[in-house]
Amino acid sequence: MALFFKKSLLFLPNNLHLVPQMLTMKRPLLLLTLLLFSFLTWANDPSDSLITLRKAMEHVQDSISNSLKYSTGKVKTDGGEVALDIPAGFKYLNKDQSIYVLTKVWNNPESATQGVIGMIFPEESGPFTDSSYAFVVTYEEIGYVKDEDAGKIDYDQLLKSIQEDEKKENEERTKAGYPEMHLVGWAQKPHYDSQRKILYWAKELKFGTGDDDNTLNYEVRFLGRKGMISMNAVAKMYSLPLVDQNISKVLSVASFTQGNSYFDFDSKTDKIAVWTIGGLVAGHLLAKAGILALIAKFLAPLWKFIVIFFAGIAAWFRRKLGRKRQGDSTVLPPAPPEAGDESVVETDDHSKYLPN
């Protein structure tokens, strides 16, 4: 769900701090093709070698999956501002393990994990599950977001405004070696729950010019006294019915602890954010914390092959060169951190949507 991009590859507002540095898909796929060609050319029996490689990849995947420890029910997070209540049908991966998944498994830079407090997966899915989604949860102290504009926003006009800005931003993306990104439309029109102070919406996105399935970017914002909880998911568009089916549960996952809710705001002491409701929605996909971490998974169908391929290749070369050690021949990424006890506290401008 991605996931987990920021406002653009080059433009970042304030402390919405996810800087995308992932490689373009063209480069790793080209490298992967060349390595695979060399691998099969050297092999005595390419079909046997592919079977061996697949088994090595599956072993790495299983080892990682079995090492991850999930939590359910009530969870307190680092910092104490945010409380999570993971409902039936979902499971929570803590901060340290989530950072491991985002960086070691999904191959994102450390900068992609700033502000991350965990990940939420459907009960039967995990980091390697296809045709599913995951929400990356972050907390950002951007200040108190005024919501007076919530009932005045024309989201159809806002959509057109964002689409009109694509050309310039895609020029920058292309120069940086990234595929173009196009906002096809709202997959879920923005909705603001003024009673619960929750904003959510979803975008249908197209990357590049190929015929691949479009991408779904589902975003949720929980507004608080000093900042907001963000939950971002990225999946293929065909997963939209599945996400919609469970979105009511997702909206009940996060809350603020006593003294940190939206209604605890003190105008004499607390900071007011430069963002309004319209400004939060207008911020482009790349400006949202957590999205880069998910997009790495869903941008290419062969994402996990890219991540795990090299472990299998290393094992095969050791055998080929007669340097195979006794026992397990695969090279695993560093083990994920211990889960710990989760039951205790441990721009583009869009200025017309911002306050004067």
- pLDDT digit string, tens, across residues 292-335: 444 445 444 444 444 445 545 555 555 555 544 454 444 455 66
pLDDT beyond 80 at 115? yes
* Cα–Cα distance, 135 to 253 (Å, whole number): 11
The pLDDT of residue 60: 81
pLDDT beyond 90 at 261? yes
Residue with more model confidence, 125 or 112 = 125
- What three-state secondary structure class fits 232? strand
- Compute the average pLDDT of residues 61-83: 90
Is residue 298 within 8 A of residue 129, CB to CB? The reply is no
Q: Is the pTM for the entire model greater than 0.75?
A: no
The pLDDT of residue 324: 46
β-strand partners of 287 = 6
Q: How many CA atoms lie within 13 A of 329 on its CB side?
A: 19
> Where are the chain's structural domains?
6-154+183-345
Question: Residues for the chain: how many in total?
Answer: 356
Q: How many CA atoms lie within 13 A of 173 on its CB side?
A: 23
* Cα–Cα distance, 317 to 313 (Å, whole number): 6
Q: What's the CATH class of domain 6-154+183-345? A: mainly beta
Which phi and psi angles does 243 have, rounded to 5°? -65, -45
Percent of the chain with pLDDT over 70: 66
* Cα–Cα distance, 78 to 311 (Å, whole number): 33
Per residue in 122-145, pLDDT (tens digit) is 999 999 887 789 999 999 999 999
- What three-state secondary structure class fits 70? strand
Among 210-219, 229-238, 259-268, where is mean pLDDT lowest?
210-219
- Compute the average pLDDT of residues 249-259: 96
Q: Determine the residue type at 174.
A: T
The two tokens of residue 52 are 């061996």
The two tokens of residue 239 are 């997963």
pLDDT beyond 60 at 8? no
* Cα–Cα distance, 20 to 83 (Å, whole number): 28
The pLDDT of residue 328: 47
